[in-house]
Amino acid sequence: MCANFNRWYNFKGAQQSSSASYYYNYVFGGFKTKGAKDALYRSCSARGSNVAVINLKRPYGPFLAAMTLSPFAIQSPTSMRENGADRGRLTSDGVYQPLGDYGVPGGEAAGTGPFKLESWRVGDRLELSRNDEYWGRRPSLTRLIFRAIPDNAARLQALQTGEIDGYDLVEPQDINTIKRSRDLKVLDRPAFNVGYVGINRSVEPFDNILVRRAVAHGLDRAAVVRSFYAGRGVVAHEFMPPSVPGYSTGVPKYAYNPNRAKQLLQQAGLTLPVEVEFWWPTDVSRPYMPNPKNNFQAFAASLNKSGFKVVAKSAPWNPTYLGRADAGTAGALHLLGWTGDFGDASTFLDGVLRSYKQFGLPENYGLYRQLDRALIETDADVRNATYRAFNNASMRDLIGVPYVHTRPALAFTRGVVGYRPSPTTSESFASVRKTS
């Protein structure tokens, strides 16, 4: 274990980029050769053959929860060394490109899990076989194939014809079709996400709180949740779901009220309608946004009734749309969302709202001080109270307008049993079997 922690801390050059080490940057904040002064990690020492002690430079409340992230899985130092795990470079557009044979398509991988890597063709499929030397109970399945099928309708058709045994990211409008089939079934993934309309206050007049309140009252969030989530969504009132400690029941709420929105715009001294550039992503489906175009069209219609004149803009999800959103160049309003990484409020509030350019915030935005305090607080009750206070304040200031938390659906043939959906999509297939 210590070899892994020391390796991460000693990353150099391209390995330090967020493209290669996003979660290490997010959690640990620095490397030995860059940013060491601000780094969280200090050292690791072995205590016997089964215990490792991690020493940190300062308190960090989410540490244990963050260690459940798959990028922090412990790997074989020998296999990494023999297969060039530390060899890589950044491409001209800043993407990390591995140059060794470790953990890449056609390369080598080592682990102690219930399945072994057989083949990997990017954009097509990943094939695994049962690990008969697995330390735990031997899996029932002898082979697993993960396929990339980007189109929603094609995924459903593949399930109906028996081409596949199951798929994730079921579109809400397909759920009843699946439930009506005696050969298929729907499973629920616990809600652990948020969909939101981002507001960029660096675009005038959205620097005015009255205009942001008008946006909040002009978005018919309840209608969108009712129409496009097949009963699997609830209206969101803050940037984290109710299941996460630190959720506040006292945040300001903004009901759909076109007349109130118009009053606020006029109170701000604006002439109606107020033009607003509103961006939405194409070629993507997310649990919090199964069909972005549907959400956008409904929100545009409600805003147009509320004193705004929506100018539609769209772009492919990755890298164009995400890049523009992160850089703060996706108009005044944009659709986005977040699925939590681990069971802590920081994964939502720091993960989403620290993206200050996206919301047109200054880097030293005042409310960030509350998030800073929560990060170094190890008393759970104090941390949760701090997060509740932040949620209340952030929704008064309207950083953005959350609109949905969803229970994503998965679909399977009836013969697949033992699949236990995880809120963070980190399911184990060791317990899965096929009865027919």
pLDDT given at position 262: 98
pLDDT tens, position by position, 3-33? 999 999 999 999 999 889 989 998 998 999 9
CATH number at residue 297: 3.10.105.10
Q: Is residue 110 part of a domain?
A: no
Residue 317 pLDDT exceeds 80? yes
Residue 117 pLDDT exceeds 80? yes
pLDDT tens, position by position, 265-308? 999 999 999 999 999 999 998 989 989 999 999 999 999 999 99
Specify the amino acid at residue 129. Answer: S
pLDDT given at position 38: 87
Residues 310 and 268 in one domain: yes
Lowest-pLDDT choice from 128-132, 315-319, 393-397: 315-319
> Which whole-number Å values give the CA distances from 24 to 3, 45, 86, in the listed order?
15, 19, 15
Lowest-pLDDT choice from 92-96, 138-142, 149-153, 292-296: 92-96
pTM reported for the whole predicted model:
0.79
Residue 123 pLDDT exceeds 90? no
pLDDT band of 106, cuts 50, 70, 90: confident
Beta-carbon-side half-sphere exposure of residue 326 (alpha carbons within 13 Å): 8
Residues 163 and 300 in one domain: no
Q: Is residue 169 part of a domain?
A: yes
Residues 211 and 263 in one domain: yes
> Which whole-number Å values give the CA distances from 274 to 271, 298, 307, in the listed order?
7, 18, 6
Residues 259 and 393 in one domain: yes
pLDDT tens, position by position, 54-66? 999 999 999 999 9
Q: What is the mean pLDDT of residues 81-85?
A: 94
Q: Is residue 231 part of a domain?
A: yes
pLDDT given at position 374: 96
Q: Is residue 65 part of a domain?
A: yes
Q: Is residue 283 part of a domain?
A: yes
Residues 286 and 398 in one domain: yes
Q: Is residue 7 part of a domain?
A: yes
Specify the amino acid at residue 64. Answer: L
CA distance 334 to 314: 9
Q: Is residue 396 part of a domain?
A: yes
Residues 177 and 256 in one domain: no
Q: Helix or strand or coil: residue 210?
A: helix
Q: What is the mean pLDDT of residues 159-180?
A: 94
pLDDT given at position 18: 87
pLDDT given at position 185: 97
Which residues, including other chains, have CB under 8 Å from residue 227's CB and lie 6 or more apart? 294, 298
Please say which residue of 63, 98, 133 terminates a domain: 98
Residues 46 and 77 in one domain: yes
Work out the percent of the chain whose per-residue pLDDT is above 90.
85
Please say which residue of 98, 123, 155 terminates a domain: 98
Residues 232 and 322 in one domain: yes
pLDDT given at position 110: 86
Structure tokens at 23: 């979660």
Residue 424 pLDDT exceeds 90? no
Domain range enclosing 329? 193-406
pLDDT given at position 169: 87
Return the residue matching tokens 């697993």.
144
pLDDT tens, position by position, 366-411? 999 999 999 999 999 999 999 999 999 999 999 999 999 998 899 9
CA distance 25 to 154: 37
Q: Is residue 109 part of a domain?
A: no
Sign of CA pseudo-dihedral 224, 394, 282, 126: negative
Q: In the chain, how many domains are there?
A: 3
- Taking residue 303's Cβ as centre, other Cβ atoms within 10 Å add up to 25
Q: What is the mean pLDDT of residues 125-145?
A: 95
Residues 293 and 250 in one domain: yes
CA distance 417 to 140: 11
DSSP-derived pairing of the beta strands 308-316 and 274-282: parallel
Q: What is the mean pLDDT of residues 129-145?
A: 95
Mean residue pLDDT of the chain comes to: 94
Please say which residue of 98, 125, 154 terminates a domain: 98
Q: Where are the alpha helices (DSSP H) in 205-356?
A: 209-218, 221-228, 258-267, 292-304, 322-327, 346-353
Beta-carbon-side half-sphere exposure of residue 78 (alpha carbons within 13 Å): 2
The secondary element (H helix, E strand) that includes residue 157 is helix 152-160
